[in-house]
Amino acid sequence: MSSQSNERVFITGASGFVGRNILDQLEVRSVVALERSAKPELEQRPNTSIVTGDVTDADSLRGAMDGCNTVIHLVAIIEESGEATFDQVIRQGTENVLAEAKRAGVEQFIQMSALGAQDNPKFAYMQAKWRAEQAVKKSGMRYTIFRPSVIFGPGDGFINALAGVVKNFPIIPVVGDGMSRFQPVHVTEVAQSFAKAVNDPDAMSGATFELGGGQVYTYEEMLDVIAKELGKSKPKVHVPVALMKPVLLMSQPLPKALRPPVTQEQLKMLALDNTTDDSATETLIGSMPMRLEDGIDYIR
């Protein structure tokens, strides 16, 4: 472990929800974090240095990974805004990071993908994730790809958004029929899986691991779990997907807590189940993964 602790890990998206938890799992390692601007919370972490750059700007990455053994690439978006498209940020961003990693002689590339990644233009986010995976696989580098389901834990974007709706709305709106299936996985377990790939690259090289949690839920069942945790008993009303689209557009100026808990892209992806019959989580962390109801006390 002492020789491993001297190796440097380069990570994009370190200040994000998953990134912060991965850093917690890599405490003994020297970490170089790529950020678009200064992040005091990262600067205060031991063994962590920050380089400024943007994954969509290949020139800004030049030299950033010099001396690093491993790259963990996390950067993605769930909502397009202006020039920041799924393809530009996720696919092109991954290709830019890969190119610089190869130039710098990085030995290992660990990619954050998503459960359900597929070559289907109907789902632009999933297609961008799939194209990013293909770039990694064709890079010639030693790689590991993770495909998690919805990730939950303190600071998450999805479960907290659903909890906000349950807290603040007089009724609980259920988008569509509420039967889309999810297998939410705790962020600590995702972070542990990434750390295992860093620490044991030979055993996990060239593999794609799907990460699911301890139980499968429908969208409506997740709302029920959240309402129970919050001690809320409110009527539920099903809202057709077609009606949600204009609601999402009109709600953009509102505070985030008062908006529907899904983006336009997530609304489309409700047509897809987000589960796996081949979850690697238990094998990678060495224990049964957590169920949603056992790890959401942070929403209170």
List strand residue ranges (DSSP E) for the chain, in order. Answer: 8-12, 30-35, 48-52, 70-73, 108-112, 142-148, 151-152, 172-175, 181-182, 185-186, 207-211, 217-218, 236-239
pLDDT at 39: 86
pLDDT at 4: 54
- What average pLDDT does this structure show over 245-253? 77
pLDDT digits over 55-102, tens only? 999 999 999 999 999 999 999 999 898 889 999 999 999 999 999 999
> Which domains, from first to last, does the chain contain?
2-153+185-212+275-287 (3.40.50.720)
pLDDT at 1: 37
Please, which pLDDT band fits residue 103 given cuts at 50, 70 and 90? very high
- What average pLDDT does this structure show over 102-115? 98
Helices 219-230 and 159-168: crossing angle in degrees, nearest 10, is: 60
Closest CA to 32 of 84, 133, 101, 90: 101
Please, are residues 270 and 219 in contact by the beta-carbon 8 Å criterion?
yes
pLDDT higher than 50, residue 3: no
pLDDT at 27: 79
- φ and ψ at residue 260, rounded to 5 degrees: -55, 150
pLDDT higher than 60, residue 2: no
pLDDT digits over 182-214, tens only? 999 999 999 999 999 999 999 999 999 999 999
pLDDT digits over 33-43, tens only? 999 998 888 88
Average confidence score pLDDT of the chain? 93
pLDDT digits over 121-148, tens only? 999 999 999 999 999 999 999 999 999 9
Across the chain, how many H-helices and E-strands are there? 13, 13
pLDDT digits over 172-185, tens only? 999 889 999 999 99
pLDDT at 178: 94
pLDDT higher than 80, residue 282: yes
Q: Are strands 217-218 and 181-182 parallel, antiparallel or unpaired?
A: antiparallel
pLDDT at 185: 98
Q: Regarding predicted confidence, which is higher, 209 or 240? A: 209
